[in-house]
Amino acid sequence: MKADYKNWVPKGMVLGTLAVTCVLLVIAMILGIKSVPGIVFLVLTVLSALGTLWMFLMYKAFSYNGTRQMSRHIIEGVSSYVKIPDGGKCLDVGCGSGALSIACAKKNPGAQIIGIDRWGKEYASFSKNLCESNSVAEGVNNTSFQQGDACKLDFNDESFDAVTSNYVYHNIPSKDRQAILLETLRTLKKGGTFAIHDIMSKSKYGDMESFVEKLKTMGYEDVRLIDTTNGMFMNKWESTWMGLTGSAILMGRK
């Protein structure tokens, strides 16, 4: 049995845009490419084709079994920052297919990793059952998974020795993603560590440098914002064409 972490770019999304491109092309041909409506649909076809190509390249880059394997590099990289004492607990917010939870479990065999996710229709291939199956396939027994809402966590203050997350919060419609970060950090014990990786651009998160300073004034220690587009997980060109500009790890200790 082999773990199946799926792809962060769903195959159905790629095939869906390809189907739209084909439909647009057929309509353009029926209308006639020399007519005004036909030209309009031809332009739409080209734009849709470019979108399909972008999604296909993203799909290949994020594939766990492909050449680039960016997903695997990111998961291994983020999990290396998660330190949990034996007997401790870690919360992985937005666990998806369980990849980060399982990586943290492997690196911290004496700790318990709890992964939560809403497993919505946007990522229908991800599920609690998939996370549990992947844990079995990877031979780890210190993980558990449950339904949860990142905006309102069903855990008391200071419940965990570590909290982590990867590429989750930018997907949540919100005008204040820093508030979502604080909701996650609320569950962290005094002395606990955190490592949260996301697209922390100003347009999505506001001024993160100021947020780092805010955490320090709140008593958090060794708070850092680590750029992951400088060769750590990807280069600047990759982050640009993939739409991942601003990717960074927010890490530190409470």
Domain-by-domain residue ranges, the chain?
Answer: 11-62, 70-253
Long-range contacts of 173-182 (CB under 8 A, 24+ apart): 176/206, 177/204, 177/205, 177/206, 178/205, 178/206, 178/208, 178/211, 180/150, 180/151, 181/211, 181/250
pLDDT tens readout for residues 136-170? 999 999 999 999 999 999 999 999 999 999 999 99
Pair 84, 90: CB distance under 8 Å: yes
Q: Any idea which of 53-67, 113-127, 205-219, 229-243 has the lowest mean pLDDT?
A: 113-127
| Helix runs in the chain, H state only | 11-31, 36-62, 70-79, 99-107, 128-138, 177-186, 202-205, 208-217, 236-241
* Total number of residues shown for the chain: 254
Q: Is the pTM of this model over 0.85?
A: yes
- CATH topology (fold) of 70-253: Rossmann fold (3.40.50)
Which two tokens mark 27?
A: 């309509």
pLDDT at residue 216, rounded to an integer: 97
